[in-house]
Amino acid sequence: PDTAQDSPAVAIQALDPLATTLPSETDKGLGPSAPLLVNEFRDGAIGQATARPGAENTITVTFSSVATIFADSYTTVTLTGLTVTRTADQALPIAGDPVARGILPPTGVWAQATGSLAIPVITRLRASEMVEVSFGVVNPLRAQRQADVDILSSGIITAPRTLANDPGFSAPLLVWTNLTIKTIEQSTASATSANTISVTLSFLNGIAFDPDLLLTISGLTGSVTSERRIPVAVKVGANGTSEE
């Protein structure tokens, strides 16, 4: 099958008229040899240590494998989607109990363009055993939304599965911005008048463009404007300042 599944129960029955037997469940192969077992990674989660722009950041990943993975399957587990970082292509150091126990090597192959880390399994990784590893990257200078990170493998082929992000600022590669200027003004103080609110912002390092990234201004209570979408005009100043 194309999708992951556990190995089903398999029964055997003799139908010879002279020696009919009742169905009996058979013993199955171990690990990936179990019939019709299609592997997947479960209980996957990913988080980070800091959302500070340009900071050295520690990424922590946890997951488990449905099937036992043996070294002779030449399986490589790959994390992909950790973009954008300032970490160049390299053999990236990895830490964690599976490294100390020799299940995984002390380094993985990092590719900056795809934000991927490839980690070979060098000794047996048992089925359902929780794996936790961490590694360091450098955050971008510009603010950005969290990454959506997939885990997959070759050797024993495992389809990509998206890891669950830790909440809030612990979501992987979520980088907040530094506001150096933030002011708000209005066009009139007259009662019942149409009023234009102007907001001026300046970002120390800018924000990576993302159509889903939202800037929220809160606290403008007391107006008679009902809840609805309202027109917003934006202009960018010569020094990168934005006015709305």
Segment 78-108, tens digit of pLDDT: 999 999 999 999 999 999 999 999 999 999 9
**Cβ neighbours of residue 82 closer than 8 Å, sequence gap 6 or more:** 59, 115, 116, 117, 137, 147, 149, 172, 173
pTM above 0.75, yes or no: no
8 A C-beta contact, residue 143 and residue 175: yes
Q: Which residue has the tokens 């690990």?
A: 31
Whole-number Å distance between alpha carbons of 179 and 176: 10
Conformation bin of residue 219: beta by default, left when phi > 0, alpha when psi is -120 to 50 = left
**Cβ neighbours of residue 108 closer than 8 Å, sequence gap 6 or more:** 91, 92, 94, 117, 118, 119, 135
- Of 34-43, 109-118, 192-201, 222-231, where does the model show the most confidence? 109-118
Which band of pLDDT confidence, cut at 50, 70 and 90, is reported for residue 15? confident
Determine the pLDDT at residue 243.
45
N- to C-terminal Cα separation, the chain: 53
pLDDT tops 80 at residue 7: no
Determine the pLDDT at residue 181.
74
Whole-number Å distance between alpha carbons of 157 and 176: 36
Determine the pLDDT at residue 30.
59
Segment 21-48, tens digit of pLDDT: 677 777 766 556 667 667 899 999 999 9
Assigned token pair, 15: 């139908």
Determine the pLDDT at residue 244.
44
CA 37 to chain centre: 26
Q: Residue 98: what are its φ and ψ, rounded to 5°? A: -65, -25
pLDDT tops 60 at residue 241: no
pLDDT tops 90 at residue 173: yes
Which band of pLDDT confidence, cut at 50, 70 and 90, is reported for residue 208? low
- Of 33-47, 140-154, 223-237, where does the model show the most confidence? 140-154
